[in-house]
Amino acid sequence: MKKKVGIITFHASYNHGSVFQAQATQQAIQNLGYDAEIIDYRPKTYDDYDRLYCRRGHSGIKGRLYYALLRIHRTQRLERIQKFQQYQHENLCLSQKRYLTYDSLSEIANAYDMFVSGSDQIWSKNVPEIAIDSERAVLAYYLGFTQRKKIAYASSVASMKEKDLKEFQSYLMDYAYISTREAIGAERLQHITGRDITTVVDPSFLLDHQEWIHFAEPQKLVDGKYVLLYSLRNYVAEKNWSDALNIFAEQHGLKIVVIAPYFERKMKNAIDMRLAGPKEFLRLYADAEVVCTDTFHGTAFAVNFQKPVYSLGNKYWKGDIRKTSLLKALHMESRLINDESDLLSIEDYRFDYREANAILERQREESICYLRHELKD
């Protein structure tokens, strides 16, 4: 009989990267001969889409206008949510029961042979999925509810400092194995635990682009060549970035396709694909000529699909360790852009992936071997 593995991660946050990394973690463990199931841990705050993903703090006339627009677009966002839910239903093996609180997870303390903390920023108190919930919510991702064998695969501390991580030291010490996604995260965890911490690839890389395309929308969504902008930060909607992207597209004879949650569109003739679900996301990536993105998984999928990519930042976000760690590991630091003016000086956006592919393939094989060892030992 196959051993049963319970996975806890962000799997239902209506974020493309979160869903894909959860799917890939489950698939990789199943490929190694285990019965893998994602624990459907979703506090009620997950149901508050506006609270999770829409900006706050608007007041006065601007505030009234913003929330009026929010109501107008609610129907469209529900359409997007339904696409995510359908994809999750088709591709994720979830526990039969949904768990709303950390305390309720005690019911499954012995339901699995072992537990895996998955990837994404699950060990950071600062992400929306955790920050808006109770202080105990984060303990679920540190597997504080069970004494069975515990494994962490590519779990990310994101921007958490060592002084903040010390709060969870006792939980971390209970793990049989810990691997993380970023080298700097491994250093912080090693200082906290006094143990060797292995750096592995993000789970989305455990499947190559040929495997991912199997889950994509089969039909082409946009005719012609285009630059795909995938953004989760509002600064990309600001005029300076929008103008730069418009000029970049015009210089290279490209259309602009946008996947972003924000309403403020200043990119002329941009094709708005904000309602893209996981299937549409994969198709748009597969067909893109070049990708501009300010997200980690946006960067990761561009690399996996071997697309010319520019990973965007600004003075506030240029220190994002997730993107910089990934691109440095692949010798792709030249694809980091922290000033919109840099887009205007690009004469040839093409990129030779031969070196990066060789590094990635080696890292992928090493990560699968490590996961096999973590589960078997």
Q: Which fold has domain 209-346?
A: Rossmann fold (3.40.50)
Q: What CATH code would you report for 4-207+362-376?
A: 3.40.50.11930
Q: What is the pTM of this model?
A: 0.90
Q: Rounded to whole angstroms, how far apart are CA atoms 7 and 29?
A: 10
Provide the mean pLDDT of the chain: 88
> Which DSSP string do the residues of 111-149 spell out, in sequence order?
SSSEEEE-SSSTT-TTSHHHHTS-GGGGGGGGTTT--SE
Q: In 3D, which of 250, 251, 245 has the Cα closest to residue 266?
A: 245
Same fold, 4-207+362-376 and 209-346: yes
Average pLDDT over residues 135-142: 85
pLDDT in tens, 359-374: 999 999 999 999 999 9
Q: Rounded to whole angstroms, how far apart are CA atoms 270 and 229?
A: 10
pLDDT of residue 233: 75
pLDDT in tens, 182-223: 888 899 999 999 999 999 999 999 999 999 999 999 999 999
pLDDT at 300 over 60: yes
At 55, the pLDDT band (50, 70, 90 cuts) reads: very low
Tokens, residue 117: 């903390």
Q: In 3D, which of 14, 13, 39 has the Cα closest to residue 26?
A: 39
pLDDT at 263 over 50: no
> Which DSSP string do the residues of 355-373 spell out, in sequence order?
HHHHHHHHHHHHHHHHHHH
Q: For the chain, give every domain's residue range.
A: 4-207+362-376, 209-346
pLDDT at 125 over 90: no
pLDDT of residue 168: 92
Average pLDDT over residues 4-19: 93
Place of tokens 């509002």: 234
pLDDT in tens, 143-184: 999 999 999 999 988 777 888 889 899 999 999 999 998 888
Strand order, beta sheet including 336-337: 271-272, 255-259, 226-230, 290-293, 309-312, 336-337
pLDDT of residue 159: 74
Higher local confidence (pLDDT), 331 or 261: 331
Higher local confidence (pLDDT), 92 or 50: 92
